[in-house]
Amino acid sequence: MNERKLKQLNVLTLITVAAALVAIVLFCVVFAPKSENRIDSDNLRPYNEGWVLKGYDDKVDEIISLPEKVDADKEDTIILMNRVPDDVNSDTVLVIKTEFQNIIVTIGDKKVYSNGVLNDQKLMKNSVPCYNIIDIGEAKPGDVVTIYIASAYDKYSGDLGSIYYGTRGGAVADIVRNNGVGFVVAFTILVLTIILIVSLVFMRNVNVDKRKAGYAFGFIFTSAVWSLTGNPIMQLITGNNFGVYMSNMVLLLIMPVLYIMYQRCFAVKRRFAKIFEIGVYIFSINFLTGVIFQLYSVVDFATYMIFTKILITIGLLLLSGIMYLAADVFADKTIYNNFFANVVLTIACLLEGTLSFFSFYKDYDGVILQVGIFLFIILLVVTVEKGVIKEMNHQRDNALSNIDSEKKNTVKQINTGIIYGAMNTVMNELKPKDRENSRLIYDTSIYLKNSLKAITDRDLVPFEEELEFIKAYLGIQFRQNKMLEVVVEDKVIDFNVPFNTIEPLVENAVKNGALRAESQGRIVVRSYERLDCFAIQIVDNGKGIGPDKRFDGKQSYKTIKRRLKNMCGGAIDIKNKPDKGTIVTVKIPKDGFVIKE
């Protein structure tokens, strides 16, 4: 995909998101009815028995128990009547959950509550789904409570849910108890996403694909806010049922655009990219159409969302197939992870859509979809974080590779030939007269050669070569510390070790062991063969401080241990004897054997 086309899609996405924010502000502030009943914040009791269903369309009155589904057409007014409970007090409220139903409640001849009927609902035919908490504290036991319910939609016209009564605090507590888990999870994901977005913004020195991460976190953030606005607790907090519902609908319209743009980042080949582009255009148009229809009262969100949810489900099914093909073609683990997350969301949408046709699922409406959304968001967060970590590790590896290259170039610039030549000349001149200093120069030249080699060489070498390095170091130490006793027992040398792993252990044994001994210092280096491995033993007579507790060397003890394990399956065994010394045993397994730590 050319850069110009990609910029056009990015601009389209930004415009769509900006329009979504404007729409949310309009619905929450400008068009929100001002007479919505705000809930401020015990146990609720059912109030479902003894309701009289007043006859309509020439039907006779009948006594019903709630919940009930009665035969009613759209805009038919259903009238329910009952006696006020005997234990009513000044704090008593009724709690009724409505789904796109207008409601009026009267006590005797006095209207005590209305929602959606006399309110200034410019953009909706009825009130939005909400909990109605109705204050009946002024009623007396035996007074008649009358509830008028009507809907502009056939599906909800005769749908009568359960009614409860209790205190206002009990009503709020019940709503929080029933919806608190979803609210906490959505809020947690929202906070986590904000933290990740902020951390991404400040990753200026990290080479990550911020476009991918930006769209991913944008989608996750939008999904989390969508889950929050779909939670009844948000209506309790804001007191703006209409604005919260409209925000939820706008977010649902915008989410597919962000999600497809995120998946588009993985489409390398043109034939895959084209499909995602078409998807962005379709859902951008769907968003703008839905908002315009809502603003001009052509079709409100309650109806338009049926089409949108079907479109999203079809899109998810198609996207799952496309992502599977893309993952197979590109063999990309990230695409596979996105595919599995997409499958979880697709299954949740299909199950939710199927179960919504069954009456038993009415009390659990939306649960499957919410669980699917939460799992999907978690999987997507993990996928994105894996991608970010992968990019960071890649950059780290590149940096380390550059450092190694710089080290090699630096070593190459050192004219080691002239240095060794000069030292060899001095050594040969001193040899007949001063063998000790001649030997010191020889050991120094060997030590210098291997030290320079250790800067760049990380390969396996014959132990004989590593032993040369060790003997040179021990020769220098012996020349400087005449009281140091050095013993080298090289019975077996015909095996390989990672270069510059044994010598640092010897250095540590000398510095922290033998040279710190209370009596004459002694260091023993021996190599021998076992049934399953070749062993190198380093023994000192120091105070018993092993390299895992105090290590002075060119490499850390953990680095040496890791190199031995990764390069040849080797292991290190340490035995400390207080005031007697330390025995470090390096085991190099033979072919077909495994050394257990």
Q: Which position has the higher pLDDT, 337 or 290?
A: 290
Q: Which position has the higher pLDDT, 579 or 308?
A: 308
Average pLDDT over residues 204-218: 70
Q: Does domain 45-170 have CATH number 2.40.50.140?
A: no
Q: What is the pLDDT of residue 213?
A: 76
| Residue range 271-286, pLDDT digits in tens | 778 888 888 999 999 9
Residue 589 in tokens: 């397994």
Confidence band, pLDDT 50/70/90 cuts, at residue 353: confident
The one-character DSSP state at 100 is S
| Residue range 492-501, pLDDT digits in tens | 999 999 999 9
Q: Could you tell me which CATH class the domain 3-35+180-395 is placed in?
A: mainly alpha
- Mean pLDDT is lowest, of 30-39, 70-79, 114-123, for 30-39
Full strand arrangement of the beta sheet holding 110-115: 62-64, 51-53, 78-83, 144-150, 102-107, 110-115
Q: What is the pLDDT of residue 468?
A: 92
Q: What is the pLDDT of residue 205?
A: 52
Identify the CATH number of the domain defined by range 484-589. 3.30.565.10
Does the structure show a pLDDT above 90 at 142? Answer: no
Nearest in space to 457 (alpha carbons), one of 488, 503, 424: 503
Residues 443 and 475 sit within 8 Å (Cβ to Cβ): yes
């509830």: which residue's tokens? 147
Confidence band, pLDDT 50/70/90 cuts, at residue 209: low
Confidence band, pLDDT 50/70/90 cuts, at residue 6: low
Q: What is the pLDDT of residue 206?
A: 53
Residues 128 and 198 sit within 8 Å (Cβ to Cβ): no
3-state secondary structure of 209: coil
Cα–chain-centroid distance for residue 274?
29
Q: What is the pLDDT of residue 534?
A: 94
Residue 516 in tokens: 């710190």
Distance (Å, rounded) from C-alpha 136 to C-alpha 104?
A: 13
Distance (Å, rounded) from C-alpha 25 to C-alpha 21?
A: 6
Q: What is the pLDDT of residue 285?
A: 93
Distance (Å, rounded) from C-alpha 132 to C-alpha 366?
A: 19
Distance (Å, rounded) from C-alpha 147 to C-alpha 134?
A: 11
Question: Domain spans of the chain?
Answer: 3-35+180-395, 45-170, 484-589
Distance (Å, rounded) from C-alpha 523 to C-alpha 510?
A: 7
Does the structure show a pLDDT above 90 at 299? Answer: no
Does the structure show a pLDDT above 50 at 409? Answer: yes
Residues 525 and 537 sit within 8 Å (Cβ to Cβ): yes
Confidence band, pLDDT 50/70/90 cuts, at residue 71: confident
Does the structure show a pLDDT above 80 at 89? Answer: yes
| Residue range 472-530, pLDDT digits in tens | 999 999 888 888 899 999 889 999 999 999 999 999 888 888 888 878 889 999 999 99
Count CB neighbours of 472 within 10 A: 21
